[in-house]
Structure 1
Amino acid sequence: MKNRASGLIASLLLAVSHPAFADYKLNLQTPVNDLAREVYGLHTFLLVICTVIFVVVFGVMFYSIFKHRKSRGHKAANFHESTTVEIIWTIIPVLILVAMAWPATKVIIAQKDTRGVDMTIKVTGYQWKWGYDYLDEGFAFHSRLKTPQEQYENFGGEKPVRNADYLLEVDNPVVVPVGKRVRVLLTANDVIHSWWVPAFSVKQDAIPGFIRDTWFQADKEGVYRGQCVELCGKDHGFMPIVVHVVSQEKYAAWVVEQKKLAAASQDDPNKVWTQADSVARGQKVYEANCAVCHKPDGKGQGAFPALDGSKVVTGDKAGQIDILLNGKNAMPAWGKTLSDTEIAAVMTYTRNSWGNKTGEVLQPVDIKTARK
């Protein structure tokens, strides 16, 4: 028994000394603006109050139990209520609550004050990615988890090489200039999401059909990470947020590059696609938007049906177009976020991949006609 206990203690010490615990923190993230520093200070202030109350209340209770225990000859007292005591134990908690509520209310009001902003970004939550519209600059993009699904779900049993932030890396991060006050307009396309970056002290729910706003400002350049903190579905844990705070010069250069990319990505709606080109384009659209639910091999999972051999995919194209444009059950309405070319391409890909061999090629004009 002694050897087993020694072995257990040694195992615990080894686990605690593991390098993974080197950066482990028990407190909030380091704040990078005045509001976040106020929140940090408020958190510490309230924690101190709660700790003092805990120590005083339980200290008196344990002292009374120990000092007046029956084994020492004490007998329980028989007494009735005391108006004075009741008034005291009502007034003191009220004063404590006021002392806590006053600074907390000031911070909450400051968090909702979006006056005097320098730029505005519209953020849209999707299952399971974020859409960002730079309203002042005139371009938009989607941001998804960068780590491939087969890595974070460990398909095949081989452990892939991962960095510490493999669940907090995205393909297209948000970029903002340092020191600028950024207004964020939030909504959602399907279910409720929540945009949260703790270093900025910003957290706001994104609700379908509503526009809600908040703001943030970073006083220090760097990379800041957050997540969706609303339970929004199967892959809720895989829609991170990454914000790069850069100098004004780097931000201006990034904006120019984004505008070039946006212009280059515009498709000719009248182009007639060959099957090979459409399948290649459709595969990219599928992997970026559909594979997370229907799997890269089209076999489906859980509530999400297989596309390989699906009667919807191999049947009348009008039915598949309708589902893609308008959604069905957990399937979002992709007609709101994908272009006619992208929908036509992904349909061509699904209808001619895996075991599906319809030979059909959907054209953007087919989707445009169906939208009417």
Structure 2
Amino acid sequence: MKAGWFKQWAAGVAVMALPMLAQAQAADPKPWQLNMGRGVTHLSHNAYEAHMLALWICVGIGILVFGAMAVAMVKFRHSKGAKPDTSFTHSTKLEVIWTVVPVALLVLMAFPATSKLINMYDTRDSEMTVKVTGFQWMWKYEYLGEGVEFTSRLDRKSDELRQQTRQTRQTVTAEDHEHYLLDVDNVLVLPTDTKIRFVITADDVIHAWWVPALGWKQDAIPGIVNEAWTQIDEPGIYRGQCAELCGKDHGFMPIVVKAVPKDEYQQWLAAQKPAPAPVEAAPAAPADEAAPADADEQNTEATAAADVDDAAVAG
């Protein structure tokens, strides 16, 4: 019996300690990750800070509530002769406290959350724009004003393994493919330390473009253009997926963003642009050899006509 109680208390303490052990994780989610990732953008940092503020407030509330419950259950238990107070009805002081305190906490959380939410939708002063279009089941990226566009879909190796597992019912391991179902044939290359505006839409059904390391998710809706922005601080490769149920292959629409320094990005962008068409020299006009002869004939005819007119006048 004592062993059972000990296990229950140990489990309770472990659960309460989880938030304290939950440190910021890497940019991409990992197996058994306890806390949300801090990300690599200004927006993801804002979201992480708001999350941690709410988390620690909840931890404090939990400690007070469960601590009060533990004290009440231990100190005022029946085995120690405690008797219930049948005359207690209510306490105005307590009612004021548990009304004012939650309101104050909500106001405390509302101010930073509102300012960060407004900042999330401020796409002004962007240095470049990328158009994202969702299709069943791939993404199309267009670098507006640069003449560069391409599609991005599940890489061939992942697709082959997916087809094999449907037939053999075997599990794909990391040895088979390190980024199984999270790799693409054409990655979205973006520069670091650059404010990038995204315009996001869809061609057929509702999709959602989501890369956790960037700190936001935006729906891609046919006929509607949504906006978002990011500014990536650290070079690296960041992965995501479609986050809206869009059909039978919804789980096979990965997103891969490769962030590189500005100089490297400019070199990549120049290599992606189509080569200018060669300028053909205009053909030379053919020499008009008959022109001088024609001119002489016209002059002779004009002279003869003038002589006839003079003779008529003299006669």
State TM-score, norm by structure 2.
0.71
SS of the residue aligned with 1:133? Answer: strand
CA distance in 1, matches of 2:38, 2:110: 24
Say which one has the larger Rg. Answer: 2
Give yes or no for contact 1:188–1:209 (8 Å, CA) kept in 2: yes
CA distance in 2, matches of 1:51, 1:262: 62
Hey, what does 2:7 align to over in structure 1? none
Give yes or no for contact 1:185–1:214 (8 Å, CA) kept in 2: yes
**What is the deviation of 1:155?**
4.2
**What is the deviation of 1:26?**
2.4
Matching residue's letter, 1:121:
V
Give yes or no for contact 2:158–2:181 (8 Å, CA) kept in 1: no
Hey, what does 2:67 align to over in structure 1? 59
Residue 150 (structure 1) aligned with residue 164 (structure 2): no
Matching residue's letter, 1:59:
G
* Stretches of structure 2 lacking an aligned partner (at least 5 in a row): 1-29, 278-315
CA distance in 1, matches of 2:275, 2:137: 23
**What is the deviation of 1:25?**
3.5
Residue 129 (structure 1) aligned with residue 138 (structure 2): yes
Give yes or no for contact 2:158–2:180 (8 Å, CA) kept in 1: no
> Which of 87, 90, 107 is the aligned partner of 1:81?
90
Change (3 A) 1:262 1:142: farther
Residue 178 (structure 1) aligned with residue 192 (structure 2): yes
CA distance in 2, matches of 1:88, 1:200: 40
Q: What's the % identity of the aligned pairs?
A: 47
* Stretches of structure 1 lacking an aligned partner (at least 5 in a row): 1-21, 264-372
> Which of 188, 202, 206 is the aligned partner of 2:216?
202
Task: Determine which structure has greater relative contact order: mean sequence separation of CA pairs < 8 Å that are 6+ residues apart, divided by chain length.
Answer: 2
**What is the deviation of 1:149?**
2.6
CA distance in 2, matches of 1:262, 1:239: 33
Residue 36 (structure 1) aligned with residue 50 (structure 2): no
Residues matched between the structures, number: 242
CA distance in 2, matches of 1:262, 1:89: 71
CA distance in 2, matches of 1:247, 1:202: 22
State TM-score, norm by structure 1.
0.61
CA distance in 2, matches of 1:183, 1:32: 16
Give yes or no for contact 1:202–1:215 (8 Å, CA) kept in 2: no
Hey, what does 1:284 align to over in structure 2? none
Residue 27 (structure 1) aligned with residue 66 (structure 2): no
Change (3 A) 1:39 1:261: farther
**What is the deviation of 1:24?**
5.4
CA RMSD of aligned residues (A): 2.3
Give yes or no for contact 1:139–1:262 (8 Å, CA) kept in 2: no
Give yes or no for contact 2:158–2:183 (8 Å, CA) kept in 1: no
Residue 138 (structure 1) aligned with residue 152 (structure 2): no
CA distance in 2, matches of 1:129, 1:251: 23
CA distance in 1, matches of 2:252, 2:70: 47
Change (3 A) 1:94 1:262: farther
